[in-house]
Amino acid sequence: MNPFRWNYRVSFLAGFLICIALLGFALYAEYQLGMEPCPLCIFQRIGFMFMAVFFLAGAIHAPRANGRWFYTGWVLLGALFGIAVAGRHLWIQSLPADQIPACGPNLAYMFDAFPFAKALKMVFTGSGECAKVQPILGLPMPFWSLLWFVLLSVWAILATLRRTTPRLRL
- Domain membership of residue 113 as a residue range: 3-161
Number of structural domains found in the chain: 1
In a domain, 116, yes or no: yes
In a domain, 34, yes or no: yes
Q: How far apart are CA 96 and CA 98, in angstroms?
A: 6
Q: How far apart are CA 94 and CA 100, in angstroms?
A: 9
Query: Model pTM?
Result: 0.81
In a domain, 64, yes or no: yes
Question: Tell me: the pLDDT tens digits for 118-140?
Answer: 777 776 666 656 667 777 788 88
Question: Tell me: the pLDDT tens digits for 11-40?
Answer: 999 999 999 999 999 999 989 988 888 888
Burial category of 145 from C-beta neighbours within 10 Å (exposed 0-12, middle 13-18, buried 19 and up): buried
Residue 7 is part of a domain; what is its CATH number? 1.20.1550.10
In a domain, 126, yes or no: yes
Packed helices 8-31 and 68-93: angle between N→C axes, nearest 10 degrees: 30
